[in-house]
Amino acid sequence: MAENKNEELNIGDQRAVRIDKLKNLKEAGQNPYEITKYEVTIKSAEAKAEFEKTEAAAKAVAGDDEEKYAAEMEKSKETIVSLAGRMMSKRVMGKAAFIDIQDGDGRIQSYVRIDEVGKDEFKSFKKWDIGDIVGITGYVFRTQKGEISVHAKSIILLSKSLLPLPEKWHGLKDQDTRYRQRYVDLIVNPNVRDTFVKRSNILREVRKYLDNMGYLEVDTPVLHTIQIGAAAKPFKTHHNALDMDMYLRIETELYLKRLIVGGFDRVYEVGRIFRNEGMDTSHNPEFTTIEMYQSYTDYIGMMNIIEDLYRTVARKVCGSAKVMYQGTEIDMESPWKRLTMIEAVKEYAGVDYNDWKTDEDARACAKEKHVEVEEGDKATKGHVLIAFFETFVEDNLIQPTIIYDYPVENSPLAKRKPSDPAFTERFEYFITAREMGNAFSELNDPIDQKERFVKQVEAKIASGEPAEVDEDFVTALEYGMPPTGGLGFGVDRLVMLLTDSPSIRDVLLFPTMRPLVQKEAEEKTDEE
């Protein structure tokens, strides 16, 4: 029979039919929502694995004796198991039926016969719908077609699905709905479930790596009392009891470095970060980062750590440090390429920073090469170098590449290079033409730090945005912070890489979405 008698009806009509079925169940004293517990003794994947072991053991005992093998397998029917999950298909054939049950580990087929479960129970079972949550008790066997299944001795409805599952849940036209109704996406798309299981495994392996290196995982405040001068714009909220505005954090850096001052030599945080900015395939207003800080090392030390961390996590989670991403093999196994920003611009843009004697020379070169520099006539050589890098270099960094020695102009928290104070001991690393992480030899000179904060705040205020110097952080530095290496990277982009996901929304269970009512109103306005 058809899996759904009402498949020709629209969703609203199907929902009405299912609500009517629920009403009848309640009137018959069979309200599934009143069930509070069901004893599950095994999951689908385990049931299959255990049955294969039973078959192997029976084969070992019986050898080539088919009758003895059959007798051994008959004993397995005495082992009763109990499973529960969502009914994903139903094929009724007179007095018997096959159904597919999906639980947290996968799917397994079940064979339901009227003479096993009872006439009344089978009659009720035939009225159940795809998507209902059911419990099955029985023994595991292999069908004539060779599929491991559960022969039901009893079956019970544990929860009623009032909305039908979509028959087709893929393609660009459904992408928006998939993100909005992730719970349905997870039900019908096993690969989506796999992505988020892998995300959890990635986080577990990163934590394990850092823990084994002697790092301490900590938590720092999400709500901040001041809006600092960093470029990212924060979300603003209000604390009623204190009658004061507060800001959701845009980083975990400054509190973690306070802990370095306090004597924790190695700390890290898996932190939720909030930035009030645009959205695209690699940006979401809330995202997860890992920031780590280690006393008595520098940015070279952090380069070595991140390269080994990525390699180790990829091997553990994917089985290899060479992974496919959108049709291109990404090689994290081989030593990563390392270039200074000057070297990178020279290689990809054919322009040598060292040829610029003055800021005017740099601006003239930018004009000649049609490179737009945000600072305009106030641009320094450092500003122009950054603009060249963004214009000519980033899109070429497909394989893992570390770019280091950044101009001081865009590195307010990094230590200056002793050999050239115009540059800082900072690096970013790029994979698939995306910036994946950022690291410094951390600035620990409180006087220099205060001066850079002030300039940062002045620039923010000049652009019309409020900002303050974090005076308490400067005070912390005045107590003395040891030489420190620090690094932060986006968890979501790492997950994108290791799961071959093209968009950040594919690796966030519930990405930020425009309210559906607002979206529909805007689409209607566009049509008019």
Task: Reply yes or no on whether the pLDDT at 170 is more than 80.
Answer: no
Taking alpha carbons only, the member of 312, 131, 122 closest to residue 210 is: 312
pLDDT at 169 over 80: no
pLDDT per position as a tens digit, 118-134: 999 999 999 999 999 99
pLDDT of residue 292: 98
Distance of alpha carbon 487 from alpha carbon 293, whole angstroms = 7
Give the model confidence (pLDDT) of 52-73 as tens digits.
999 999 999 999 999 999 999 9
pLDDT of residue 177: 87
pLDDT at 516: 79
Give alpha helix (H) positions in 82-154. 114-117, 119-125
Kindly give the interhelix angle for 381-388 and 341-349, rounded to the nearest 10 degrees.
50
Taking residues 293-305, report their average pLDDT. Answer: 98
pLDDT on residue 330: 98
- The more confident residue out of 466 and 331 is 331
Q: How confident is the model at residue 526 (pLDDT cuts 50, 70, 90)?
A: low
* Mean pLDDT score of the chain: 93
272 closest CA partner among 297, 298, 291: 291
State the pLDDT at residue 456.
87
168: left (phi over 0), alpha (psi -120 to 50) or beta: beta
- Tokens 């002030």 locate to 454
- How far is it, in rounded angstroms, from Cα 20 to Cα 381? 73
| Token couple for 287 | 């995202």
Closest residue by Cα to residue 410 from 431, 424, 430, 390: 424
Dihedral angle sign, alpha carbons of residues 213, 218, 223, 227: negative
Contact of 402 with 336, CB cutoff 8 Å? yes
Mean pLDDT of 244-257: 96
Distance between CA atoms of residues 313 and 328, nearest Å: 19
Report pLDDT for 10. 85
Query: In this predicted structure, what is the pLDDT of residue 144?
Result: 93
> pLDDT tens across 394-445, in order?
999 999 999 999 999 888 888 999 999 999 999 999 999 999 999 999 999 9
Predicted local confidence at residue 523, as pLDDT: 63
Per-residue confidence band for 463, with pLDDT thresholds at 50, 70 and 90: confident
- Note the pLDDT of residue 49: 97
CA distances from residue 45 to 42, 77, 87, 91, 510 in whole angstroms, order as listed: 9, 18, 16, 22, 27
With pLDDT > 70 as the criterion, what percentage of the chain qualifies? Answer: 95
Residue 2 — φ and ψ, nearest 5°? -65, 150
User: Closest Cα partner for 516 from 107, 291, 262, 181?
Assistant: 181
Interval 296-301 mean pLDDT: 97
pLDDT for 479-512, tens place per residue? 999 999 999 999 999 999 999 999 999 999 999 9
Which pLDDT score, from 0 to 100, does residue 521 have?
61
Q: Which pair of structure tokens corresponds to residue 517?
A: 């009512």
Task: Give the rounded percent of residues in the chain with a pLDDT score beyond 90.
Answer: 87
Cβ count within 10 A of residue 61: 12
CA nearest neighbour of 158 among 61, 292, 38: 38
Three-state SS for 257-314 is HHHHHHCCCEEEEEEEEECCCCCECCECCEEEEEEEEEECCCHHHHHHHHHHHHHHHH
At residue 2, the pLDDT reads 42
Which of 421-426's residues contact partners 24+ apart within 8 Å by CB, and which partners? 422/381, 422/382, 423/382, 425/298, 425/299, 426/299
Rg (CA), the chain: 30
Mean pLDDT score, 309-327: 98
- On the 0-12 / 13-18 / 19+ scale of CB atoms within 10 A, 343 is middle
